[in-house]
Structure 1
């Protein structure tokens, strides 16, 4: 038996057989913050499954055909799945252990363990299609690093493999950002290519977060610049960092590494007032936003 709690990057299968992935470690009462990613049609590349969400990003997720719920505490709508509809819960660390013990066969296993050579001792998981067991010949490797110390050790000691220029082009097109802007936020430690396979490293807190700790209200679009400082919280989802009198929170994962550390940035997002705390939220429906170095 694995852990009973739900964490970011976990997967669940609903009663209809569709696969969802969790976003954030927040545990609302009776439901999950999760987006629908795969549905079975018999025609898809993923062993008959097709992607419901062909491209990442909040702006794409907003039009996904699934249930959304308005969350007054966050001043935003989130994709949700009722817990009563969850049939199976898949944990990335369990899937990694099965690959490690060779209990589960995958053509990606050799690339995965070669990618990890030289890394410090970490608590790891695999997410994405390999977690579900529906990976195909061109699938990516999506790995999860758990915990604050693990995230910091990884960023300090892993230098990355080959760069992934395809990610830069795709992200520029998907987020409508100039190529130079995407190059400035690219970090091959977390996205790259190894032995011809694209990889990503994602970071997850090990603690469940409380639901609805603050009540937030939108104050409209804001653009600002200044020195941003982010510790390991910038690597988790959503990313969090401080800039002057603001807490910057990004629901767009592409900005996580540029929020880690200290640098001067320009920011566009939605200004939220959360019980007196001023937040700039990146990834709202009404304003896509960005965090870019200057």
Structure 2
């Protein structure tokens, strides 16, 4: 996460960025709200529903006040939020943030939520066989602006470590209660027009979100290394399609962007890609889906491939996901 001179706080998106710019989204701005820094400054969260409609509205606000924070990215063929590196006045590292929080707990200077967060990390260390430096903290806890109802948002470094953490959560008992709850059900129904029974079934299998004691948690992954270099691949929109796919691999679904490998027999689509992380960790190998989404051609060093993009500008309001079995 990083801040600009206006006090705007952005969350970094993924690990591939244009030269001297940072793909991101605007999350907090100075204003009234329960998020309070140590110096007394308060913040308003501007990204609340994490929908494409909301993102486009935020981009309009940025365009009116700081148009240089937007960037037409020729690689993806769209305008994105990507402030220049020289606009950054402060940044927060997830690993350093966790280390400093651990120190405050040891010194008796931590808040209740910080103590609970370290308790959750210790639980994962014990049950997943991981070390403290396998984790990082993000969100309002990283920024030090959290309040009593804030979540514990953790990241795990590396695919193998993430898989071990997920397995521990999958078999957990008290004080861990995995599950995404009604909010995810409502989001899937509203954005992707998913039948209620499908949405409830998917929410019930989620383990990367849930409760630690009475506090909500989330666990996402950070890749061992960037997927590729910027510009190695070119993405070309090919319209909106409705197809049936079968999930063949979900091991990259809890990283940013979320990626599912699929088999699709008509067009030869190879994967689903999404920056809308509400879809992360939902689908499993063997799931069959009917999906309406943007189709992209991916041009790279090994030739061309097709992917579906969920959470695109072009398909906003018309995307759909239905479980077929």
Same fold at TM > 0.5: yes
Partner of 1:185: 202
- 1:1-294 to structure 2, matched below 5 A, reads 11-41=1-31, 43-47=32-36, 48-64=42-58, 65-66=61-62, 67-102=69-104, 105-116=110-121, 117=123, 118-122=127-131, 123-159=134-170, 161-162=176-177, 163-172=179-188, 175=191, 177=193, 178-186=195-203, 187-208=205-226, 209-244=228-263, 245-246=268-269, 247-275=271-299, 276-288=304-316, 289-294=319-324
Q: Residue 288 of structure 2: SS of its match in structure 1?
A: strand
Which moves more between the two structures, 49-58 or 83-92?
A: 49-58
Q: What CA distance in whole angstroms lies between the structure 1 residues aligned with 2:237 and 2:311?
A: 13
Which moves more between the two structures, 235-244 or 252-261?
A: 252-261
| Count of paired positions | 283
Q: Residue 73 of structure 1: SS of its match in structure 2?
A: coil
Q: What CA distance in whole angstroms lies between the structure 2 residues aligned with 1:115 and 1:88?
A: 27
Which moves more between the two structures, 88-97 or 111-120?
A: 111-120
By how many angstroms is 1:290 displaced?
4.9
Structure 1 residue ranges (4+ consecutive) displaced by more than 6 angstroms after TM superposition = none
Q: Residue 115 of structure 2: SS of its match in structure 1?
A: helix
By how many angstroms is 1:152 displaced?
1.7
Q: Is the 8 A contact 1:164 1:188 kept in 2?
A: yes
Q: Is the 8 A contact 1:164 1:192 kept in 2?
A: yes
Q: Is the 8 A contact 1:37 1:51 kept in 2?
A: yes
Which moves more between the two structures, 165-174 or 83-92?
A: 165-174
Spell out, residue by residue over 1:236-283, the C-alpha distance to the aligned partner (whole angstroms, 9 max, x if none).
111222222222212221222134534222222111112221111111
Q: Is the 8 A contact 1:126 1:144 kept in 2?
A: yes
Give TM-score, length-normalised by structure 2: 0.80
By how many angstroms is 1:14 displaced?
0.9
Q: Residue 32 of structure 1: SS of its match in structure 2?
A: coil
Q: What CA distance in whole angstroms lies between the structure 2 residues aligned with 1:230 and 1:291?
A: 18
By how many angstroms is 1:54 displaced?
2.3
Give TM-score, length-normalised by structure 1: 0.88
Q: What CA distance in whole angstroms lies between the structure 2 residues aligned with 1:272 and 1:230?
A: 19
Q: What CA distance in whole angstroms lies between the structure 2 residues aligned with 1:33 and 1:171?
A: 24
Spell out, residue by residue over 1:66-96, the C-alpha distance to the aligned partner (whole angstroms, 9 max, x if none).
2432222113332111111101110111111
Larger Rg, first or second structure (1 or 2)? 2
Q: What CA distance in whole angstroms lies between the structure 2 residues aligned with 1:192 and 1:290?
A: 25
Q: What CA distance in whole angstroms lies between the structure 1 residues aligned with 2:130 and 2:211?
A: 22
What 5-or-longer segments of structure 2 have no aligned partner? 37-41, 63-68
